[in-house]
Amino acid sequence: MTTDPARLELETLTSADDVRAAGAIFRTAMVGLSPLSPDADGLVEPGRTLGARLDGQLVGAVDAYTSWLVVPGGQRVPHAAVTHVGVLPTHTRRGVVSALLRRQLSDIAARGEIVATLRATQGGIYERFGYGVASSYAGVALDRRRAGLRDTVPQAGPVRYLDPIDRWQELAKIYAPERISWTGAIDRPSYWWRFHELATGDTGWTVVHGELGDEDGFVRYHAADSTGWPRNPQRAIVVDDWVATSTTAYLGLLRHLLSLDIVDRIVFPFMPLDTPIRHLFADERVVEVTGVHDETWLRLVDVRAALARRGYRDSDPLVLSVTDPLLPANTGNYRISAEGADRVDAPADLATDVSALAAVYLGGSTWQALSLAGRVTEIRSGALEHAEDLFATGSAPFSGTYF
């Protein structure tokens, strides 16, 4: 049943009570999330919660954080981190989500943010709003008992545990914009750190790498199941967050995890698809990939600006035709080369829509794969191979930040 659009009122929520109500709607819609504690204010950015009322009742909402996204070539582009999309189960399938996301896209464009990303609980919703799967992650498990690093793996620097009371401030310093440079990485604003502080409390352990005052990486982990831990035949830890801004930090933090003699298995729920970790071990079979899942759903809000800010391989220019039904200002032809991108009136070599373009933008999908699915039309013979060369990246995109 679709709601009469005239009855649906959309507004930016400003009062604390409305923002709390929006959070409650999200958790109700998600079903499996526990209620927030009374002191859970400060988890969303003021002025970025959009609510939908039906006959005066708040029935849906969506949030966003002001952020940045690292794109191929290393630039950080203005980015909206979209989150907390929720509609009361009593009011689903009435066009509420559609109205919210369409309005939010207009608001994001007005702010000058050229891309938006989200993490999707349900995969079949967001493509119709122009989002595409731009990065994925791998679940990895490591048999610590059999794990021996190769003799050629370098040593690393010192590590130390952080006090749970002040760890979040220290971690935010390490995750500084000037240090975070991998494609797909996003900013972690204060609201993100606040949420994780409340969500995890004092549970688990946090270790940092580097000399005091010059730390360059950290890892957070907890026991997978502490029931009967001393006699548990399969004691496992789960790595909640692993950030290394240097090769030395990467190796130092891994060496720390391997030094936990009481642990049998190390579980990494979120790893890049091209993680090099197995190459570090004399027996590569100690590393097991347990699954692959979509991570970043990307929306190009300003196609011209997004294409212009991305880096490309040295190749002949390509003209790409893009269609965008929701943001029609993006519809047009774009000349793309190693020098950048801009709109042109020239005939197109390839044609696609904005969601398919989002899927290849960070390097997480190939033009050939999208063509096989009928999502790309080759107008000039050889243009698909040409696009692969132009958009090729040296590594798989990965965010590593869940929001």
DSSP 182-230: STT-B---HHHHHHHHHHHTT-SEEEEESSTT---EEEEEEES--TTGG
3-state secondary structure of 271: strand
The enclosing H or E element of 232 equals none
- In the chain, residues under CATH classification 3.30.1050.10 are 302-391
What pLDDT was estimated at residue 38? 55
What pLDDT was estimated at residue 278? 98
Question: How far apart are the C-alpha atoms of 44 and 12, rounded to whole Å?
Answer: 13
Residues near 241 by Cβ (< 8 Å), separated by ≥ 6?
A: 171, 218, 219, 220, 400
Residue 193 backbone phi and psi in degrees, to 5:
-65, -40
CB 358 within 8 A of CB 331: no
From residue 201, alpha-carbon distances to 195, 198, 293 in Å are 10, 5, 27
Residue 118's nearest CA partner among 108, 32, 24 is: 108
What pLDDT was estimated at residue 78? 98
Beta strands 350-353 and 8-12 are unpaired
What pLDDT was estimated at residue 231? 87
Residue ranges of the chain whose pLDDT lies below 50: none
- In the chain, residues under CATH classification 3.40.630.30 are 5-133, 137-164+202-293
CB 53 within 8 A of CB 11: yes
What pLDDT was estimated at residue 102? 98
What pLDDT was estimated at residue 15? 95
The pair of three-digit structure tokens given for residue 308, joined into one six-digit string:
């212009």
pTM over 0.85: yes
CATH number of 137-164+202-293: 3.40.630.30
b/e 73-102 (16+ beta carbons within 10 angstroms → b): eeebbbbbbbbbbbbbeebeebbbbbbbbe
3-state secondary structure of 30: helix
What pLDDT was estimated at residue 203? 83
What pLDDT was estimated at residue 6? 63
CATH number of 302-391: 3.30.1050.10
CATH number of 5-133: 3.40.630.30
The enclosing H or E element of 289 equals strand 287-294
What pLDDT was estimated at residue 40? 66
